[in-house]
Amino acid sequence: MTRALIVGSGIAGPAAALALAKAGIEAEIVERHPRPADEAGVFFTLGSNGLDALAVLDLQEAVLAHGFATPAIELRSGTGRPLGLSRIGTTGPDGTTSQTMRRTDLYAVFRDRAVTEGIPITYGRELVSAVDTDNGVTATFGDGSTAEGDILVGCDGVHSRTRMLIDPTSPPPVSAGLINYGGYTSGVDVETEPGTFRMIFGERAFFGYAMAPDRTVWWFVNEPTTVTSAASLPVRSEAELATHLSGLFRNDSGPAAELITAGSDLARPTLTYLLPHLPRWQRGRMIVIGDAAHAPSPSSGQGASLAIEDALVLAQCVRDLGPTRTAFDRFEAIRRPRVERIVKAAARINSNKSATGFTRLIRDAVLPIILRLSGTRETDMTYGHHIDWNQQIRA
């Protein structure tokens, strides 16, 4: 039986393990964190295409139990001027559409299913090196332990070690020039419908919020920065952070400052990294998928969905073509055009978010037109994507 060694237990990793297991391939996951992730505050939106892919793994229902529908974004300028409505999901025949959920809830769904399926996950094992052997690949971890597989699938995120082992000259991820923050607020009334994100291009930063069915408001901030490394981000207490963030929106219309001041469970600030184009996704028995291969900006709302799609397609390729170079080549040929198109589109949104001064005025004038022109086709291609699991992949 073919054996796959999966590095990383974020989103791509468990999705790949479950998809490979469905294809009859034995999978084992190794994760560098000493225990499952439990970051406070962090939430994200899983696109309708990601949910569609999860249906193949019979996980859609379990995931829907943790999310609330958010198929649209209403954009506003910092002065409160409506800029347009952007769809961020298609709606399936049963009404299923993009969902916002806590990241830890999605991880837990994956983890529980992996345990049920008997897929081993071991924590505290950081991939350090890996070499191809005559009949497989051997990986070595920071604790000195080793593991073997017929293939090694690097699902180790935007700062991937696997990527460097495949090609030490790989371009590094680049900072998108935005710091992300997030939190939750109860007891503040906001004028938005459940199911619609409202996002504001403020004078100093970008703010987004949505109201959950229990009327808690989930919000995030993107602050432009010239800092290029996460290690250089300013360290602030929760109170200092609230003061800093609410100050960013003091001149803007909308509830940002109030929501931040009354907020709780603030997420640790993170720097956004992008990996727009990676020349090599594979070498020998090793391949990267998910953010390790292509990290779109969070603005795309697609990173997790693309990671799940990758997992399914890789499993199909290995199922039909074996643990071979041909399978990896087919995977790359199928996935590259789609993910690189989405990465490019997300980079455009990012530059809108960090616009200042005169550029901001132009952006506010032009964005509504762009939204009207580009909306439907782009949205359908991105969010309406469907993977036919039973389709046979040919060399």
Q: Which residues bind ligand FAD (CB under 6 A)?
A: 7-13, 30-33, 44-46, 126-127, 155-157, 161, 180, 270, 272, 290-292, 298, 301-305, 307
Place of tokens 């022109």: 373
The CB-of-197 to ligand FAD minimum distance in angstroms stands at 10
Question: Given phi > 0 = left and psi -120 to 50 = alpha, else beta, which region is 73?
Answer: beta
The CB-of-287 to ligand FAD minimum distance in angstroms stands at 13
Nearer to ligand FAD, 208 or 364 (CB): 208
Nearer to ligand FAD, 104 or 185 (CB): 104
Alpha carbon separation from 86 to 184, 253, 300, 332, 384 (Å, rounded): 23, 20, 12, 30, 15
Residues in the chain: 395
Q: What does DSSP assign to residue 195?
A: T
The CB-of-15 to ligand FAD minimum distance in angstroms stands at 8
Place of tokens 């390729």: 317
Rg (CA), the chain: 21
What does the alpha-carbon distance between residue 260 and residue 207 come to, in Å, rounded to a whole number? 10
Nearer to ligand FAD, 215 or 268 (CB): 268
SS3 category, 138: strand
Nearer to ligand FAD, 51 or 321 (CB): 51
DSSP conformation letters of 289-334: -GGGT-B--GGGS-HHHHHHHHHHHHHHHHHHH-SSHHHHHHHHHH
Helix 303-321 vs helix 48-56: angle between axes, to the nearest 10 degrees?
Answer: 30
Nearer to ligand FAD, 32 or 87 (CB): 32
Range 251-268 burial, b when 16+ CB lie within 10 A, else e: ebebbbbbbbebbeebbe
Strand bridging mode 174-185 / 217-224:
antiparallel
Nearer to ligand FAD, 153 or 367 (CB): 153
The single-letter code of the amino acid at 246 is S
The CB-of-261 to ligand FAD minimum distance in angstroms stands at 21
The CB-of-6 to ligand FAD minimum distance in angstroms stands at 9
The CB-of-73 to ligand FAD minimum distance in angstroms stands at 11
Nearer to ligand FAD, 185 or 382 (CB): 382
Question: Given phi > 0 = left and psi -120 to 50 = alpha, else beta, which region is 222?
Answer: beta
The CB-of-183 to ligand FAD minimum distance in angstroms stands at 12
The CB-of-80 to ligand FAD minimum distance in angstroms stands at 24
Nearer to ligand FAD, 126 or 329 (CB): 126
The CB-of-271 to ligand FAD minimum distance in angstroms stands at 8
Nearer to ligand FAD, 12 or 217 (CB): 12
